[in-house]
Amino acid sequence: MRTTGLTPPQQKDFLERGFSRRDFGRLAALLTGAATLPFYNEPALAQLSALGRLPDDAVRINSNENPLGPCPEAIEAMFAAVRKGGRYQYEEADAFAEAFADAEGIPRDHVLPFAGSSDPLHRTVLAFTSPNRSLVVADPSYESGERAARFIGARLFKTPLTKDYAHDLRAMAQADPGAGLIYVVNPNNPTGTLTSRAEIEWLLGAKPKDAIVLLDEAYIHFCDAPRCSDLVAAGKDLVLLRTFSKLYGMAGLRAGVAMARPDLLARIVPYGTGIMPATGMVGATASLKSKTLVAERKKINREIREGVFAFLKKHGYSFTPSVSNKFMLDVRRPGMEVVRAMAARKVYIGRGWAAMPTHVRVTVGTRDDMEKFQAALLEVMA
């Protein structure tokens, strides 16, 4: 007898969401081997940003990384975890989740730890979209969720940003009455711009009845905007993502969380397997205990970013009004031409987006990084 690999409740859920029985083999693969799937993580996106292997003296401002790396407390904690690397150290993931819940003031059962935030992003798309339940996104914004939606045949609706580069939540709420998931990145990637807390609260009240809002706060620590974990605690139809890859400087070490009501978290659990990396878990826990880390790094990033903006204004260049660690720069010609020309000078900037074809994304690096960026830009644009 041929088996689908899906339990009866899973089969019922998938059929109700508009999948056919012919889809069951692929859906079973999602539940057993997510890490092997083509959309699963970010290598494909990183390859779009990097032009081959980068030289040792390259200026790497193409992937929104924090060049400061982990804080000293995190490094010490991770070194201790490495010494115990022969053990699974399962308990460290729970300790991290408890520390995070305490820091945010939300119940422990509203927090799930992950190795970064890409994993729960993809899981949430898989859990709440389908051929009958669309994904609604802004354009331009972070594309990874789109890839997961396309893989399972979910419908996709894209809405342009407002003239101020915010998510147009009014348009997103009306894009599809049958939407399954509305994805908001705040601050946005790639523009670095904010959508107001008031608009997010409005969306939670005005969205289609059965839709879930997926709010990605990967870059929230770089700005002064209010965070939305209290909306999770209030029981809203919201899945909230955070990562330690950005301000905390742990991009290669992998730690993040999904926050939501327990019933929503239970929906995303089946779409992946594996344990959490002990190094990432203890590093994130140690980072949370620092009382000054976020404020200090936010200040450093802001001062360097504003210095770059002053340079760009002086030379007549347009850019998005970012409050984050990256921005979109208008280079007045096809963006990839400038990406290649900058790479020839060992300055590696990010890619472009189809919605903004003459723009390129630039990460805010160290002061030295940005001085080299400025010198190379003047040469290329001349």
Domain edges within the chain: 43-68+293-381, 72-289
37 backbone dihedrals φ, ψ, rounded to 5°: -80, 150
State the architecture of 72-289 in CATH terms.
Answer: 3-Layer(aba) Sandwich (3.40)
**What's the pTM?**
0.92
E strands, the chain, in order: 59-61, 111-114, 134-139, 156-160, 179-185, 212-216, 238-243, 256-259, 326-330, 347-349, 359-363
Can you say how many angstroms the Cα of residue 104 is from the centroid of all Cα atoms in its chain? 19
Lowest mean pLDDT among 49-53, 101-105, 106-110, 263-267: 49-53
- What does each C-alpha distance from 238 to 23, 157, 234, 243, 382 come to in angstroms? 27, 19, 10, 17, 47
Q: Give the bridge partners for 319, in sequence order.
A: 329
| pLDDT tens, position by position, 207-247 | 999 999 999 999 999 999 999 999 999 999 999 999 999 99
At residue 70, does pLDDT exceed 80?
yes
At residue 36, does pLDDT exceed 80?
no
Tell which residue, 47, 222, 217, 228, has the closest CA to residue 121: 217
Q: Do domains 43-68+293-381 and 72-289 have the same CATH topology?
A: no
| pLDDT tens, position by position, 239-267 | 999 999 999 999 999 999 999 999 999 99
* Furthest C-alpha separation in the chain: 72
User: What pLDDT does residue 283 have?
Assistant: 98
**Percentage above 70 pLDDT, the chain:** 91
Question: Residue 89 and residue 109: Cα distance in Å, rounded?
Answer: 20
Question: Residue 80 and residue 373: Cα distance in Å, rounded?
Answer: 37
At residue 5, does pLDDT exceed 90?
no
- What does each C-alpha distance from 289 to 2, 66, 257, 284, 294 come to in angstroms? 52, 19, 16, 9, 11
Question: Which fold would CATH assign to domain 43-68+293-381?
Answer: Aspartate Aminotransferase, domain 1 (3.90.1150)
- Say whether 38 sits in a helix, a strand or coil: coil
